[in-house]
Structure 1
Amino acid sequence: MTDALKGGAAALVLAATAACGAPETTTPEAEAASSQSELPEITVTDAELEGNPFRAEWTGAYGAPPFAQITDAHYMPAVKKGILEMRAEIDAIVNTEEEPTFENTILALEKSGKALERVMLVFGNITNTDTNDALTALEGEIYPMLTREQDAVTFNPELFARVQAVYDQRDRLGLDEQEARLLELTHRNFVRAGASLAPEVQAEIGQLNAEISALTTTYGQNLLNATNAFKLEITDPARLGGLSDDFKNAIKVDGEDKWVVGISRSFFEGFMASAEDRELRSQLFDGYRTVASSGEFDNGPLAIKLAQLRAKRAELMGYPSHAHYVLEERMAHTPDAALEFLGKVLEPGLARAAEEEADMETIAGHEILGHDWWFYSEKVRAEKYAFDENQLRPYFELGASTDGAFEVASRLFNITLEEVPVEAWNPAVKSYDVKDSESGEHLGLLMIDNFARDTKRGGAWMSTYRSSSDMDGNTIRPIITNNMNLVPPAAGQPALLSPTEVETLFHEFGHGLHGLLTQIRYPSFSGVYGGPDYVELPSQIMEHWVTEPQVLAMYARHHETGEIIPQELVDKMNKASTFNQGFKTTEYIAASLIDLHWHMLSSEEAAEITDAREFEKSVLAQYNIPEIIEPRYRSTYFSHIFAGGYAAGYYSYLWAEILDADGFDAFKQSGDIFNPEVAAKLKQWVFESGGLRETDELYRNFRGSDPGIEPLLRNRGFAEPSPAEG
């Protein structure tokens, strides 16, 4: 998953991209500001800014933020000053007597808001990785301020008139490809944000945006609070049967005879797959699937309200639903196309899931319930393949696995990654200087934060601390961060990963490379750009190298003996690679269907929804999703779509799998997983090109044709392998 805030005011205010996983960056106030003059007054004194790190040059290594100097009190004054400076920059564009040109309008807009961007990149990242009550309160103040500024720019008629004037003469300006693309995207963003609508419609959209901004903030905070509030406490060591020593050590409370399990995904899946105590599995399962669904942190009413507001806003924008608005620019283009695609994969997934359920009931000797699936699927795996994932952990040490990902990138893209000492936001963070192997050119800084903690949001993601740009001969390379939530090892012990966690490591590193390798000069479409159905391609294609024998030999060594993972284990792992895919496919598609149906509602249909759980049940029943398979995310804890940027887009991970499976097939068919010609095209058209062209065209430039679904079905075990894979 990616979280990115990119570019100047043009991107900050117009791109509708959530800032580092923050709420939708839309209007915060009940009254939409339609021009700069209508904005409320903001004041900040020199005394308030004195000694503020955001107002000084950052002279540390690689230009990284001086984290030790930044306190919670520095954010608000720096945000206010940044807003005032951006307002002045917008005023200068609007009030010039010069005729609109690319330089004085489009490029000036791209350069605006840099001081604000600087502070918000840090704020957005820190509130995701090391939050506290003060920062949570600041989110409720700062994001409304930002979203107010968004409407002020979007609905500024004089500014849009200048953008339109430049756009109208685009064929006569002699722009190069990147300049022309910046103009095209800037104009498109204005239009899609509502700049061409009547003032009274803009005002109504602003009111809707106000509520959306507030609700997405509250939704995310509710989820974090509810997640931290649930703890499964175990005081009887006899009930720990099946758990590994490493896992037991990780959940042991210091100084007490007590073990505590939370519901972050890494802890949840580890416990559910291994714990022999069925009652405890049931308790954790219920805690996970009902989180934030009742009481003080109930997100059900918020999900309903967000769906209603988005539906109404889409209607005002001239679209049948929010999904129609969102998907217009995605590779699927329409909700019907997305649903049709999901159906093609769901059908074999359901059939396989039924077979898996039958296999488990044979072993269990009783009916399987939802909280049994992980546990008994491991029993089936052991019986069918004589294979237990825990056998692999000693060969997947975190440091070695990271080195393996780096070596793959080095061979594919001719880069080096060297660990360097850089001040970070947490002592656990490691930093790497990324360089071009041949020229030695610095490409960017990668900062990796791997371990779970209570102050950190769940999941895994890539984000940005500094955007890449190359304007006016001033080259700025990016600072990228990868984040995971691995179970911290006991003191003095190595961090040993499951194969799934290694895949996640490679996945997020793929996102990181997408941000690091960019060769686009304008921040608005450099690095990670495009809808999630495309931006998951660079991450997901990297997963294919994880279990290739040639790659395993590079990094999969026993953490104590140094022995390369035995071929016998590799064979078992490969034979079991499509195991449980019926379940995995069904739980994922179930969540994707919930997302799409929430956002396919018309405003009238959305107004009739009163119970989020009942709405979900009705959706799942349409597609015959068995009750035993819980959707990967329910509405009350679906932060991707209700507190992030994946609304009407969660299907994108599977859509991108068409691309990554087809893309990796190019390497397999060539007979060389590091084929330099294929790798060069992948680097040029996927990892370096950002949003230079439409995503369909970028993929065709890499692959030579549109992708087919067959490699995806083969990867999931729903079709026979190709001769090259056999």
Structure 2
Amino acid sequence: MNPQLTRWTGPEGLPRFDLIRDTDFAPAFDRALAAAEAAHEAIAANPDAPDFANTIAAMEVADEDLNRVLSVFYTLAGVDSNDARQALQRDFAPRLAEYGSRISMDPRLYARVRAVAAAADALPPEDRRITELALRDLTRAGAGLDAAGRARMAEIRARLAVLTTQFTQNVLTDERDYVLPVADDALAGLPDWLVRAMRAAARERGLAGQVVTLNRSLIVPFLEHAQDRALRETAFRAWTARGSGSGAGGQATDNLPLVAEILALRHERAQLLGYADFASYKLETQMAATPDRVRDLLSQVWTAARARALSDQERLTAMLHEDGVNGPLEAWDWRLYAERHRARAHDFDADDVAPYLTLDAMLGAVFDLAHRLFGLEFQPLEAPLWAPDVRAWRITRDGALMAIFVGDYFARPSKRSGAWCSSLQVQHKIGDGQRPIVVNVCNFTPPDQPGDPAFLSRDDARTLFHEFGHATHHILSDVTWPSISGTSVAQDFVELPSQLYEHWLEQPAVLDAHARHHETGAVLPADLRDRMLAAGKAGAGFSTVEYLESALVDLAFHEGAPATDPMVRQAEVLDGLEAPDAIPMRHATPHFAHVFAGDSYAAGYYSYMWSEVMDADAFAAFAETGDIFDPATARRLEETILSKGGSAPADQLWIAFRGRMPGVDALLKGRGLA
């Protein structure tokens, strides 16, 4: 076994990615899994009476080596997939599910945890919290079922692990394999930076000319600017066909049978545990608590968003007809005409802003914001990572090491689409303790040539701020136990720090300091800045509707009896909403990875909006002081939320910060829908 997988020796304790080979993972996984099983067996078979130290605390460290192996493996599988890593994922998934089932449904462990929990009132608050969570998690895993129930639960978990892994790999295959060549005479309307990015994508694949791929940072601006309607339709249909069996991978990547089986198994799992359906099971531990509360929030916003979208649809349809195109506005038309309307209404051209929104400038902005709010300092760190353009930084405060931060920002064919924050290791205080190693991953369009600046769209810049908001949750974590560290919180609370961070991108003080022209260093002109900010709210109806469609379909999938034909259920929900025809779901079912690549966001895609209610109110706490960098408010945010992880229920953490629960008004105002 390669020792680099469990005892990292790179700078500041990073893994030596240059010394790790794909052939190292299987033996490392086998050994680490065996060690974890032995550690849990020792806890379960301990003849001593159960107490916090020999049961709960021991469980906190039992998976240490396994977690380190898997954190490296799954990081690489996400950012640089290949056939060997995909095969390993397919092998690891059912074995991990089987292991998880054995541990979480071991009646001996369950009895020991119950015994400790019975006396938990005498424990310190954090110890009591992880004891309560351990008992809750074992109960919800099925530890309290009879032998037949536990056996069936283990079968369900193993099968779900296989299905969700295959779902992910099918989408990745379609995204990786699809290219749409664009002839020179079809480049009309495309900005120069986009054409350069399309040519770079072609070169990366060994092709001549320029191509459109299914990378969001490439296809969305293509749909916003391409004048060739037939080409827009071709690109749009390919983008929305990912995982449907009609994309680049053909029938081999058809996710719909997988979705139907996933939904059926989740429903059976919930009913085994005594819940009416999966939504009731999942939401029990969230802030929302019930499907009705979720639907109430989403419905309040839907009415305003749909009205705005319908009004916009009339306006954009008229523009389509002015161009001599008869018939309705289609989904592949919306972005083009919305961009034209935005340019007319606000005298705004995104190309004018691009020279000011470089990746380096926006990184400077998020780092400066972290310094002004929380006193963090960033120093570049030279370290062997998985690609030449991946970067790392040491983060300190008052000279003390707080975290290591790694940023992987550019799209590559082998990288999973989207953007995310993960950790190679989390903060804890066990023994000598450890500081977090946090990873932000994005899929921005790389520069045309190495050394050239990378230009971000406004949406790209928002993504950068969002993911770094998640990173601060890890960086500022200050708890004892790894199971409640950083972002280990309720799913509908986890997006609060990330979405809160986005608010500062819209502040003139931040843009004036950091949005500088990449050649001249000139500040983004105030009138252009204000027009950009005003234009940013112009598409609120579209963006809110496409999100809510996905959130409401997700909820409907997991309420009541599972759909035998998911696409019929999807159509029923959208028809019931009377959604605008030209606005499809943000994530159609066959590639809805949030929901079907794992359980995290299943019956939980609503959580972005639930968190948005809070992030709007949280930013208002700063604004109310007259200083958006108010030190006292930032300190309270850190002390009550960012440092606390999951050490208390989310509603308690929120009230400790704000003093009351939030309402939906700030959200509607922030989206321009009030």
Q: Aligned partners of 2:157 and 2:412: how far apart in 1?
A: 32
Matched residues, number:
658
Post-superposition Cα deviations, 1:204-254, rounded to whole Å, max 9, x if no partner, equal: 1112112111111111111111122222112x2010111122211211133
The partner residue of 1:220 within 156, 168, 177 is: 168
Instruction: Give every structure 1 segment of 4 or more consecutive aligned residues whose post-TM-superposition deviation is greater than 4 Å.
Output: none
1:578 and 2:537 matched:
yes
Using the TM superposition, give the Cα deviation of residue 313 of structure 1 relative to its aligned residue in structure 2, in angstroms: 0.8
Post-superposition Cα deviations, 1:610-656, rounded to whole Å, max 9, x if no partner, equal: 43322211111111112211110011000000003210111111111
- Matches for 1:460-475 after TM superposition, within 5 Å: 460-472=419-431, 474-475=432-433
- Matches for 1:494-509 after TM superposition, within 5 Å: 494-509=453-468
Q: Aligned partners of 1:601 and 1:66: how far apart in 2?
A: 48
The partner residue of 1:443 within 402, 406, 410 is: 402
Q: Is the 8 A contact 2:260 2:564 kept in 1?
A: yes
Q: Is the 8 A contact 2:279 2:555 kept in 1?
A: yes
Q: Is the 8 A contact 1:448 1:482 kept in 2?
A: yes
Q: Aligned partners of 1:450 and 1:243: how far apart in 2?
A: 23
SS at match of 1:476: coil
Q: 1:534 maps to what in 2?
A: 493
Q: 2:219 maps to what in 1?
A: 268
SS at match of 2:377: strand
Q: 2:668 maps to what in 1?
A: 713
Using the TM superposition, give the Cα deviation of residue 52 of structure 1 relative to its aligned residue in structure 2, in angstroms: 4.2
2:618 partner amino acid: G
Q: Is the 8 A contact 1:52 1:74 kept in 2?
A: no
Q: Aligned partners of 2:485 and 2:349: how far apart in 1?
A: 42
The partner residue of 1:362 within 318, 321, 324 is: 318
Q: 1:128 maps to what in 2?
A: 78
1:377 partner amino acid: A
2:32 partner amino acid: G
Q: 1:626 maps to what in 2?
A: 580
SS at match of 2:344: helix
1:485 and 2:433 matched:
no
SS at match of 1:427: coil
Q: Is the 8 A contact 1:53 1:74 kept in 2?
A: no
1:652 and 2:610 matched:
no
2:283 partner amino acid: L
Using the TM superposition, give the Cα deviation of residue 469 of structure 1 relative to its aligned residue in structure 2, in angstroms: 1.2
Post-superposition Cα deviations, 1:123-166, rounded to whole Å, max 9, x if no partner, equal: 11110011110110011111211111111111111111111111
1:73 partner amino acid: T
Q: 2:124 maps to what in 1?
A: 176
Q: Is the 8 A contact 2:93 2:158 kept in 1?
A: no
Q: 1:198 maps to what in 2?
A: 146
Q: Aligned partners of 2:380 and 2:560: how far apart in 1?
A: 49
Q: Aligned partners of 2:320 and 2:113: how far apart in 1?
A: 66
Post-superposition Cα deviations, 1:651-703, rounded to whole Å, max 9, x if no partner, equal: 11111100100100111111110111111111111211000110001011111
1:250 and 2:197 matched:
yes
Q: Is the 8 A contact 1:363 1:379 kept in 2?
A: no
SS at match of 1:469: coil
The partner residue of 1:79 within 29, 36, 39 is: 29
Q: Is the 8 A contact 2:410 2:444 kept in 1?
A: yes
1:288 and 2:239 matched:
yes
- Matches for 1:37-186 after TM superposition, within 5 Å: 49=1, 51-54=2-5, 57-171=7-121, 173=122, 175-186=123-134
1:229 and 2:177 matched:
yes
1:219 partner amino acid: F
Q: Aligned partners of 1:532 and 1:184: how far apart in 2?
A: 18
Identity of aligned residues (%): 37
Q: Is the 8 A contact 1:533 1:651 kept in 2?
A: yes
Post-superposition Cα deviations, 1:20-76, rounded to whole Å, max 9, x if no partner, equal: xxxxxxxxxxxxxxxxxxxxxxxxxxxxx3x54325x32321110010111111111
Q: Which 5+ residue runs of structure 1 have no aligned equivalent? A: 1-48, 720-726
Q: Aligned partners of 1:158 and 1:358: how far apart in 2?
A: 64
1:241 and 2:195 matched:
no
1:287 partner amino acid: A
Q: Aligned partners of 2:140 and 2:234: how far apart in 1?
A: 46
Q: 2:473 maps to what in 1?
A: 514
2:273 partner amino acid: M
Post-superposition Cα deviations, 1:237-286, rounded to whole Å, max 9, x if no partner, equal: 01011112221121113386421111121112110001111111110111
The partner residue of 2:256 within 283, 300, 311 is: 300
Q: Aligned partners of 1:640 and 1:479: how far apart in 2?
A: 24
SS at match of 1:470: coil
The partner residue of 2:567 within 575, 598, 613 is: 613
1:211 partner amino acid: R
1:106 partner amino acid: I
The partner residue of 2:548 within 584, 589, 606 is: 589
Q: Aligned partners of 2:258 and 2:215: how far apart in 1?
A: 22
Post-superposition Cα deviations, 1:354-404, rounded to whole Å, max 9, x if no partner, equal: 111112122222431110000000111111111122211111011011000
SS at match of 2:159: helix
Q: Is the 8 A contact 1:246 1:489 kept in 2?
A: no
Q: Is the 8 A contact 2:56 2:131 kept in 1?
A: yes
TM-score, reference length from structure 2: 0.96
Q: Aligned partners of 1:312 and 1:90: how far apart in 2?
A: 28
2:48 partner amino acid: E
Using the TM superposition, give the Cα deviation of residue 410 of structure 1 relative to its aligned residue in structure 2, in angstroms: 0.6
Q: 1:430 maps to what in 2?
A: 391
Q: 2:248 maps to what in 1?
A: none
Q: Is the 8 A contact 2:243 2:255 kept in 1?
A: yes
Using the TM superposition, give the Cα deviation of residue 112 of structure 1 relative to its aligned residue in structure 2, in angstroms: 0.7
Q: Aligned partners of 1:658 and 1:347: how far apart in 2?
A: 16
Q: Is the 8 A contact 2:176 2:414 kept in 1?
A: no
Distance 1:625 1:83, change over 3 A: same
Using the TM superposition, give the Cα deviation of residue 198 of structure 1 relative to its aligned residue in structure 2, in angstroms: 1.3
- Matches for 1:336-355 after TM superposition, within 5 Å: 336-355=292-311
SS at match of 1:564: coil
2:230 partner amino acid: E
Q: Is the 8 A contact 2:213 2:219 kept in 1?
A: yes
Q: Aligned partners of 1:98 and 1:292: how far apart in 2?
A: 52
2:578 partner amino acid: N
SS at match of 1:434: strand
1:563 and 2:522 matched:
yes
Q: Aligned partners of 1:383 and 1:309: how far apart in 2?
A: 50
Q: Aligned partners of 2:72 and 2:391: how far apart in 1?
A: 17
Q: Could you say what the CA RMSD is over the residues aligned between the two structures, in angstroms?
A: 1.3
